[in-house]
Amino acid sequence: MAGGLVALLDDVAALARLAAASIDDVGAATGKATAKAAGVVIDDAAVTPQYVRGLAAERELPIIKRIAVGSLRNKLLIILPIALLLSQFLPWLLTPILMLGGCYLSYEAAHKIWGALFGHGDDHAAAEDEPRDEDTVVSGAVRTDLILSAEIMVIALDTIAAEGFWSRLIILAVVAVVITIVVYGVVALIVKMDDIGLKLADGSTGFVEKFGRGLVKGMPKVMSVLSVVGTAAMLWVGGHILLVGIDELGFHPIYELVHHGEEAVRGVAGIGGVLAWIVNTLASAIIGAIVGVLIVLAQLGISKVLAKRATAAK
């Protein structure tokens, strides 16, 4: 009897160790998957505050909460099941889908840069001036989030493709929840930073007052920097996805060229690893910029053709 009890305790202990190891593996894989999607996360955090611009201050947090709930619904109820089914039954589709996402990220970044340099056109300006209600804001933000969330989840899935089905399910669910909390927590903080600064400035003196006024003055600059960082991150991530994807589909020269460039600087004492990362990042960003600009030009060309046909039809 005692021997049976000891054997049972040994089995329980072994199972506990196995569970702990599995949790560690899941945690490590979750961290890796989340880090790989960081570029899209930065852009998501940079884009979302724009949706509450011009709305009543007391409605900002409720709207962000509604968008966050919609984002989580996108990830868990729509994207996660589709991604798992694809990875289980059509894993060869992941690379092409990921590359489509890379093209989209490159296009979005190039479109922002193009707009900053040459303007978006009258239609865009008119859309900015239209009055907005909460339901319209939330539905538009959730639709945009569906694309960004899909890219985040596919990037994460590609990182953990070698894991078992249940591990992939748990990791992707954790990634979905963690990224949603982080992104919309940061967004809420950014949106309310002005109000926090005003309260500190109005109700305090000395350093606290100066700090509050500094927050109010500094937030527009922070948003500008965040927007630039998000655009650069999209070029980098989108270009890197395309670089790796092209190699995986069988066209190796571009990837090999970049790899040779990395190896050429990797031997530099003390900073070789950093230089190799910079080479890869710059090459990825250049690829993303080229692809993004080509798509923007194609879009502009198609728009002109459609506009001419519409004019001729009248």
pLDDT by residue (tens digit) across 300-311?
A: 999 888 888 888
Question: In this model, does residue 92 exceed pLDDT 80?
Answer: yes
Read off the pLDDT of residues 153-173 as tens digits, 9 standing for 90 and up.
877 787 777 778 888 888 888
Read off the pLDDT of residues 248-257 as tens digits, 9 standing for 90 and up.
899 999 999 9
Residues 146 and 75: their CA atoms lie apart, in Å, by: 8
Read off the pLDDT of residues 8-32 as tens digits, 9 standing for 90 and up.
445 444 444 443 444 455 555 555 5
- Closest by Cα among 276, 288, 278, 277 to 240: 288
**Can you tell me the mean pLDDT for 109-131?**
66
Q: Residue 73: which pLDDT band, with cuts at 50, 70 and 90?
A: very high
Residue 123: partners with Cβ closer than 8 Å, 6 or more residues away? none
Could you tell me the pTM of the whole model?
A: 0.71
| Percent of the chain scoring above 70 in pLDDT | 76
Residue 280: partners with Cβ closer than 8 Å, 6 or more residues away? 240, 258, 262
**Can you tell me the mean pLDDT for 79-102?**
86
* pLDDT recorded at residue 29: 53
Read off the pLDDT of residues 31-63 as tens digits, 9 standing for 90 and up.
555 555 555 666 566 666 666 666 666 777 888
**Can you tell me the mean pLDDT for 215-240?**
80
Q: Residue 6: which pLDDT band, with cuts at 50, 70 and 90?
A: very low
3-state secondary structure the chain: CHHHHHHHHHHHHHHHHHHHHHHHHHHHHHHHHHHHCHHHHHHHHHHHHHHHCCCCHHHHHHHHHHHHHHHHHHHHHHHHHHHHHHHHHCHHHHHHHHHHHHHHHHHHHHHHHHHHHHCCCHHHHHHHHCCCCHHHHHHHHHHHHHHHHHHHHHHHHHHCCCCCHHHHHHHHHHHHHHHHHHHHHHHHHHHHHHHHHHHHHHCCCHHHHHHHHHHHHHHHHHHHHHHHHHHHHHHHHHHHHHHHHHHHCCCCHHHHHHHHHHHHHHCCCCCHHHHHHHHHHHHHHHHHHHHHHHHHHHHHHHHHHHHHHHHHHC
Q: Residue 110: which pLDDT band, with cuts at 50, 70 and 90?
A: very high
Question: In this model, does residue 288 exceed pLDDT 90?
Answer: yes
Read off the pLDDT of residues 249-281 as tens digits, 9 standing for 90 and up.
999 999 999 999 999 998 888 888 889 989 999
